[in-house]
Amino acid sequence: MNLQYLLDEYEKTQAKIDEINSQKKAFEEDLSQLESNIQRLMADSGIEKAGTDTLSVWVSHEMAPKAIDWEAIFDWVEKTGNRQLIQRRISATAYKELVSSGVVPAGTEQSCFDKLKFRRKG
């Protein structure tokens, strides 16, 4: 095995994955449209549950937060100590921008790793 062979095989495999992902995206778009149509028909008919011999569907009423004032949220979290409301994740993009400008946020350290990068030619 040489590097040329491995790079060729990598490119061929990536092309296969791209084709599968393209097909998957089309199927997911179809599913999304079907879900919208099913949800609309069930709502219009007042149906909460339905099914066939092989599939069941029901309406699940769920709640999700929607941030409308981040400053108010952060103030409230700090005041009440409810830090569990905020996910503990540092934005890599914002961190890189700060570090490149000479600022290293307190409580952080840089973690470096090697990653192969590929680009198709042509």
The single-letter code of the amino acid at 116 is L
> How many folded domains does the chain comprise?
2
Burial class (CB in 10 A: 0-12, 13-18, 19+), 3: exposed
Q: Is residue 101 part of a domain?
A: yes
| Whether 51 and 25 share a structural domain | yes
**What digits encode the pLDDT tens for the residues 21-57?**
999 999 999 999 999 999 999 999 999 999 888 999 9
**What digits encode the pLDDT tens for the residues 56-98?**
999 998 888 889 999 999 999 999 998 889 888 889 999 999 9
| Whether 57 and 1 share a structural domain | yes
**What gap in Å lies between CA 58 and CA 44, rounded to an integer?**
14
What Cα–Cα distance (Å) separates residue 109 from each residue in 53, 79, 82, 92, 114? 56, 27, 25, 12, 17
| Whether 8 and 56 share a structural domain | yes
**For residue 15, what are the domain limits?**
1-61
What is the pTM assigned to this prediction? 0.61
| Whether 40 and 53 share a structural domain | yes
Where a domain ends, among 61, 83, 100?
61
